[in-house]
Amino acid sequence: MSVYESGKNIISLYYALMKAVQVYGLNNDVVQKAAKRFSSYINSLFNIYPRITLVRYRDYIFFNKQRLRFEIDGYASIQFVHDKLKKSNIKSLTLSPGIDKDEIITFASIFKEEQEIFLKKFSEKNFDHIEIEFSTGEEELPDFLQDGERIRKTYFSALSTTRNLMHNLETKKPVDIRSSKHIVYSLIDSLFQDEFGLLALTSLKNFDEYTYNHSLNVGILSLALGQRIGLNKNDLVKLGTSGILHDVGKVIIPKELIYKSQKLTDEEWETLKQHSYYGVKQILKIHGLDEIALTSMIVAYQHHWNYDGTGYPAHRQNQKPILFSKIVRICDAYDAMTTPRTYVPIPYLPHLALRVLWSKRNICFDPILVKIFTQLLGQYPIESCLELNNGEIGLVVRQNQINSALPIIKIVVNKDEKKIDGKLIDLSVQKELKIVRPIYLQKYGINPASYFVQDFKELKRADKKYKRSY
C-alpha cells in the first residue's frame, strides 16, 4: 500500500474514533471497537514505518512527508482532523511503536476538548507513545518543504529537458522519450508534495522562449487537473508527457511566423494550424516509442479539437477527443491567455482567463473539466495581484482550500505605492481586509514570478525579457 493510501486510512479511522468519542462514553462498545481498529492499523504500519507523523502546514496535512489531498472521498475526515490540529495549535503529531488501544482512547478523549483544556490535560497525562509539537507564532514551513528548493530545481530541470528535447528535434538530433518520462515523474512527486508551490512556478513566463515555457506550464497544469480528477500515476505520466509535447510540431513552423507581432494572414494561419499534424510526425522520430509516446501523438493531433466537434485539424463532428486531449485543450488555452506574446503583449488577468474558459464551456471546452480546473486554481489564481481596501496591493501566493475567494497573499506594494517585501496575510483570517479588484502588477514594474523563484539565473534572464513586453 502507498504512503498516500496509508495516510488516508489513518485519517479515516481516527475520524471514526473521534466521532464515536464525541457521542458515546469511553467504555462504550462503539468507542472500543473504533479504537481497536485504529490501534490495529497503526501497529501494522510500524512494520513499514519506524514512526508515524502527521504534520499540519497552513491548509495541508502531511503523512510521513506525503501530502494528503482534500478529495470528495474522505473530505469530511481530513477536514475534521486538520481543523482540530489547527484549533489546538498543533504543528505535528507523532505516534511511536508500543502505542495501545487505551492510550489512543485517552488521547482521543482530550483531543475533542477546546484548546486550553486540551493543553492542560495533555500536560497532566502520561503519553509514552504520542509526541506533539506546537506551532510558535507564524506557521513554520516543515523541514521537508523548506524554501521549496527541490520543487524549484525540478521545475528548471524540466524546463531544460523540454528545451533540449525540442532543440534536438528541430536540429534533427536523436531524442529519447525516457528523458521526458523521468522529469514527469519528478513533477508528479513535486505536485504531491506541494501542489500550489509547483503551480506558482507556472507564473514564470519567458517572452523569448514562449514555446518551451508554455509547453512545460501546460504539462504542469495538466498534471494538476489530472490529479484532481483522480488519475493514477501511470496515467499522470502519460498526461504530463502529452502536455509537454502538445506543441512539439511548432519546431517545424518558421520562427518568424510564431513570433510575428502583426495579425496573421489567412495563408499564414493555415500554416500555423499544421503544427498539430507536424506534432505527430515529430513524436514518431523519438526513440523508445511506447504507450506514452502514442498517447502524446493523439494529444498533439487533437489538442485544438473543440467540445462541440469543431476545431482543427478537420475531423468528423461526432469524432470526440480523448480525455487527455480535453485536459490539455483547457490548460493550453489558459496558459496562452495569461502569457504575454509578441501579438498580445498584455495578457489576460488570471481570473478573467478563467471566465473566458467558463464562457466557452460546451463550445470549446468540456464543462465538467472546466469546473474542476476553476476550482483547482481558485477564484483568484496564484500570481493574481489584488488591490485591498487599505490601499496595499497583495500577490496571491496560496489558495485557501475552504474559501478560494479569500486566498493567502503577500503584500508587495504599500499604501504609498512603493514596492516592498511585505508580510503574508491570510484573508480568511484578517477579515477587515477586503479585495477591491484584481490589477496588473506589471504597472509597478514587478514580475510576479520573482516572488516564487529567487536567485536563479533563469529567472533574471526571463525577468528582463518579460519586462520588455510591457
Do 171 and 294 fall within a single domain?
yes
What's the pLDDT at 139?
55
Cell 528541430 sits at which residue? 170
Do 438 and 351 fall within a single domain?
no
Do 258 and 364 fall within a single domain?
yes
Cell 529567472 sits at which residue? 459
Query: Is the dihedral angle over the CA atoms 13, 14, 20, 26 positive or is it negative?
Result: positive
In this structure, are residues 217 and 248 in contact, taking their beta carbons and an 8 Å threshold?
A: no
What's the pLDDT at 130?
92
Query: Is the dihedral angle over the CA atoms 244, 149, 463, 436 positive or is it negative?
Result: positive
The total number of structural domains that make up the chain: 3
Do 360 and 431 fall within a single domain?
no
Do 104 and 197 fall within a single domain?
no
Here the cell at position 352 is: 478573467
What's the pLDDT at 152?
83
Phi–psi pair at 455, nearest 5 degrees: 65, 30
**Domain extent at residue 93:** 3-140
SS3 string, 376-394, reads HHCCCCCCCEEEECCCCEE
Do 336 and 360 fall within a single domain?
yes
List, for the chain, all residue ranges whose pLDDT scores fall below the cut of 50. Answer: 147, 455-470
pLDDT tens digits along 273-326: 999 999 999 998 887 778 999 999 999 999 999 999 999 998 888 889 999 999
What's the pLDDT at 456?
39
Do 441 and 316 fall within a single domain?
no
Here the cell at position 236 is: 499522470
Do 126 and 171 fall within a single domain?
no
pLDDT tens digits along 386-430: 999 999 999 998 887 667 888 888 899 999 989 888 888 888 878
What's the pLDDT at 462?
40
Do 274 and 360 fall within a single domain?
yes
What's the pLDDT at 49?
83
Do 83 and 195 fall within a single domain?
no
What's the pLDDT at 305?
96
What's the pLDDT at 326?
98
Do 165 and 311 fall within a single domain?
yes
Do 463 and 445 fall within a single domain?
no
